[in-house]
Amino acid sequence: MTSLWPRLEPLLPRVEKPARYIGCEDGARTDIYKPEATSWLLTYPDTYEIGLPNQGLQILYELLNERPDAFAERSYAPWTDLEAEMRRARLPLFSVDTHRPAAEFDIIAFNLSAELVYTNVLNCIDLAGLRVRASERDDSDPLVGAGGHCAYNPEPLADFVDFFVMGDGEEVISEITDIVGAWRVTGKPSGSRDTVLHALARIDGVYVPSMYNVVYDGPKLVSVEPRHSDVPPIIQKRTVADLADWPYPRNQLVPLTEVVHDRLNVEVFRGCTRGCRFCQAGMITRPVRERPASQIREMVSKGLERTGYDEVSLTSLSTADFSDIEKVVSDTIDEPGTCGRVSIALPSLRVDAFTVGVAAQVSRARRTGLTFAPEAGSWRMRQIINKLITEDDLYGAVRSAYSQGWHRMKLYFLTGLPSEMDDDTLGIAELVQNCVEIGQEYTKKASVTVSLGGFVPKPHTPFQWFGQNEPEELQRKVDLLRSKVRRNKRIQLKWHSPGASTAEGITSRGDRRIGRAIEYVWRRGGVFQEWSEHFDLALWQEAMNASGLSLEWYVHRHREEDEVLPWDHIHAGLHKDFLWQDWQDALAGYGLEDCRWTPCYDCGACTEYGIEHVVASPAPPNGGSQGTGQDLATGHLVPVELRPRAGIGGT
């Protein structure tokens, strides 16, 4: 086994945070190298601190390392200081577990959780010593794979990645390992790379871009069609039916240095059917699959004992929606041996599910930060995005929190939403000011941090047809809100760069031609584009011009109903006509109920795959508020006009 450690170690005193590169975490595997086994290098294309806690990566790491005929190690994007040292010393990308060179692995697989990391993906492939374009790599090179939420529009990276995985990776990685393992046994003979890619393309949930022809008519995409009759025209996502079968990670990694989400993370459910129309994660991860409460208790108990953490995060897309959340929280706090010192983080909270009961349970332990996401400042706007929470819901949750001893909280909002008007933006200021006033009834220290993001329409959502606001317009809205809250010292406003939202727009809904712009930005040093100190909108604009691509076409224009979208050949379970109808309902102001508790709308996520929601409770745990809204003029609760429940899917 080749270890690059003797060459890496002398470079570390010269770089920031050298602990990023040494591995040695509790839970890491350094004993798993097997020369005859199929090897994966699971790579997170951002810094170690961001990538280490990623649960998807840790789950696959454990699953692969349980196989006798495979093993997995991890890699993270080196920060720019180490990259410069590595290039100077001709040191390639390495695993942090055993410091083997990336090119010695059979598969380098990237986790794509944000579009702005795409240039880092190219940089890591290049640092591994491979050609960045997939068509120029040969039989001896590792296969380059990718998965994660952004893979649901794989086209912008299609020229650089050999295969993509759609959906839950737990089962499919095993099938990929079998095929690559068989290829390995043959010694990867000359000319066989295409054959193994062809075999991968026949696995459900795997997309191999080189097996598909793309046809354009001017700027318009006409089709993405398979080159072989045995390769599927539509790639179906993979979904694990029951989380109870996958109690992973069992051995969460405990880092030696500070990372984000540095606590025990236990996934309590996957999927969300609240139907927020801007939310890609909610749409593509349907249906809801709750983990049994007894398994959560066991994972918490064993995890705390093994890791020594004193904080547990119960993760999901909307944790307070979990059936019997109060009991799970109280069991966690009362975990034997912790003396009530364990604190709970509930990272994704809906205000209509955060009751005094939940607040009281959480506040029994050390209080962690509290974040709510009303998303929009007016009822009209929340109806359009289908986030059907009333002002009373928000104020109730805020009151619950302040009454149980919290002093500050964070509220997330979006701007640049479809049909947004200045009144909607100014409504944010009013909501937040009212929250501060409620807090001051309980404590003079009450404060609220507002986090404002620029809305980027995402594939596989009802808003995928919407033309994104230009950066100047987003900035104007930010300034409008700033001017309104500036004088209130109890409100702190933070906002996401409108320029970064524009670059995210280029990469999120781009077709295969956008790869040229990504490569252009990378070749001119544009890495770590998620980081404000490295982000440069002018470079993206220059890249689009140099590639002959129009920002207006890719980002700011509305799409037509019959337009072929770059991700139409990827099926996230949702029927396109369901999404279009939901887009029309949004514009007409219709809401859509949470199908966990109502008859099915036949969006396709369950019906297409013969699976169902897995929820313990037959009714909303906290009553929910779907079905009522607040009249802006009178402030009274009024019924929300909900879309009829007949199934509308089918194509």
Q: Using CB under 6 A as the criterion, which residues of the chain lie in contact with ligand SF4 when the complex forms? A: 273, 286-287, 595, 600-607
DSSP 61-91: HHHHHHSTTEEEEEEEPPPHHHHHHHHHHTP
Distance CA 573, CA 302 (A): 35
**Closest CB to ligand SF4 among 413 and 578?**
578
**Closest CB to ligand SF4 among 205 and 287?**
287
As measured in angstroms, the least distance from the Cβ of 607 to ligand SF4 is 5
**Closest CB to ligand SF4 among 441 and 612?**
612
**Closest CB to ligand SF4 among 172 and 603?**
603
As measured in angstroms, the least distance from the Cβ of 601 to ligand SF4 is 4
Q: What are phi and psi of 629, to 5 degrees?
A: -145, -175
**Closest CB to ligand SF4 among 504 and 602?**
602
Q: Are 128 and 50 in contact (CB under 8 A)?
A: no
399 closest CA partner among 345, 343, 428, 439: 439
As measured in angstroms, the least distance from the Cβ of 460 to ligand SF4 is 13
Q: Quick check: helix, strand or coil at residue 219?
A: coil
**Closest CB to ligand SF4 among 144 and 600?**
600
**Closest CB to ligand SF4 among 273 and 625?**
273
Q: Are 240 and 168 in contact (CB under 8 A)?
A: yes
As measured in angstroms, the least distance from the Cβ of 242 to ligand SF4 is 15
Q: Are 189 and 136 in contact (CB under 8 A)?
A: no
4 closest CA partner among 109, 62, 75, 84: 75
CA 428 to chain centre: 25
CA 203 vs CA 177, 178, 233, 285, 296: distances in Å = 11, 11, 13, 20, 32
As measured in angstroms, the least distance from the Cβ of 598 to ligand SF4 is 8
Q: Are 551 and 345 in contact (CB under 8 A)?
A: no
As measured in angstroms, the least distance from the Cβ of 323 to ligand SF4 is 16
As measured in angstroms, the least distance from the Cβ of 196 to ligand SF4 is 35
With left for phi above 0 and alpha for psi between -120 and 50, is residue 74 left, alpha or beta? beta
Structure tokens at 555: 């980002």
Structure tokens at 545: 């011009």
Using CA of residue 193, residue 199, residue 205, residue 208, what is the dihedral sign? Answer: positive
**Closest CB to ligand SF4 among 60 and 586?**
586
Q: Are 489 and 433 in contact (CB under 8 A)?
A: no
As measured in angstroms, the least distance from the Cβ of 612 to ligand SF4 is 7
As measured in angstroms, the least distance from the Cβ of 640 to ligand SF4 is 18
**Closest CB to ligand SF4 among 252 and 273?**
273
Structure tokens at 472: 């100047």
For 45, what's the count of Cα atoms within 13 Å in the CB-facing half-sphere?
A: 31
**Closest CB to ligand SF4 among 287 and 374?**
287
593 closest CA partner among 275, 204, 264: 275
DSSP 518-540: HHHHHHTT---TTSTTT--HHHH
As measured in angstroms, the least distance from the Cβ of 271 to ligand SF4 is 8
As measured in angstroms, the least distance from the Cβ of 288 to ligand SF4 is 8
**Closest CB to ligand SF4 among 318 and 497?**
318
Q: Are 383 and 424 in contact (CB under 8 A)?
A: no
**Closest CB to ligand SF4 among 129 and 647?**
647
As measured in angstroms, the least distance from the Cβ of 290 to ligand SF4 is 14
**Closest CB to ligand SF4 among 171 and 593?**
593
Q: Are 267 and 243 in contact (CB under 8 A)?
A: yes
Structure tokens at 455: 């809305």
267 closest CA partner among 192, 337, 212, 322: 322
Q: Are 570 and 154 in contact (CB under 8 A)?
A: yes
Give the strand order in the sheet containing 264-267: 264-267, 311-315, 343-345
CB contact set of 417 (below 8 Å; sequence gap of 6+): 278, 376, 381, 384, 385, 424, 455
Helix (H) or strand (E) holding 482: helix 471-485
**Closest CB to ligand SF4 among 25 and 602?**
602
As measured in angstroms, the least distance from the Cβ of 362 to ligand SF4 is 29
Q: What are phi and psi of 607, to 5 degrees?
A: -60, -35
Q: Are 140 and 122 in contact (CB under 8 A)?
A: no
As measured in angstroms, the least distance from the Cβ of 461 to ligand SF4 is 14
Distance CA 34, CA 56 (A): 23
**Closest CB to ligand SF4 among 286 and 484?**
286
Structure tokens at 52: 């280490």
